[in-house]
Amino acid sequence: MSKSESYVSALEEKGLFVSSGHKTRFKELVDCYGSYPFFTKGLCKCMYLSAWDEEHFAMILQVLSDLAIGRERNTEEMRLQGEALAGQQKGGDFYVFQLSNAFLDGERFVLKGDEDISEQIRYIIRQALRAEQVIDCVEGEKETR
């Protein structure tokens, strides 16, 4: 089973794709960039999160294209861009970018509950945190083979 098939299958099994577009966008990202040296499970989690809609998909696609052209070996530049973009966001989008940065850093992300975030953004964050656990399990399975 290919890398993208492993992730897609595991995420689909847990009902974590909200639409066929979400699934297709995620699969395209992993298919295109899964073999680059900068691909990590943290980046995979960002791919899941950014594949949620066309706007965020286009943003990560541009960043990943730039990384691939520059032959980057890690996501440090992406992380810096994410930090800058987070500072430009208002409301819930700020927390979505913070979540992406936490994924890239391999750090735990927790919403306190008193943030001014729409229920839709809270749902997206909850789903991404569930996807994080699934992606970690897929990565763990690969390491034991």
pLDDT at 144: 38
**Residue 66 in contact with residue 59, Cβ under 8 Å?**
no
- How does pLDDT run across 102-129, given as a tens digit for each residue? 999 999 998 877 778 899 999 999 999 9
How far is the CA of 107 from the CAs of 34, 47, 76, 126, in angstroms? 21, 16, 15, 16
pLDDT at 33: 94
Query: Which residues of the chain fall below pLDDT 70?
Result: 140-145
Name the phi and psi angles at 101, rounded to 5.
Answer: -65, -40
pLDDT at 123: 93
Q: pTM of the entire structure?
A: 0.88
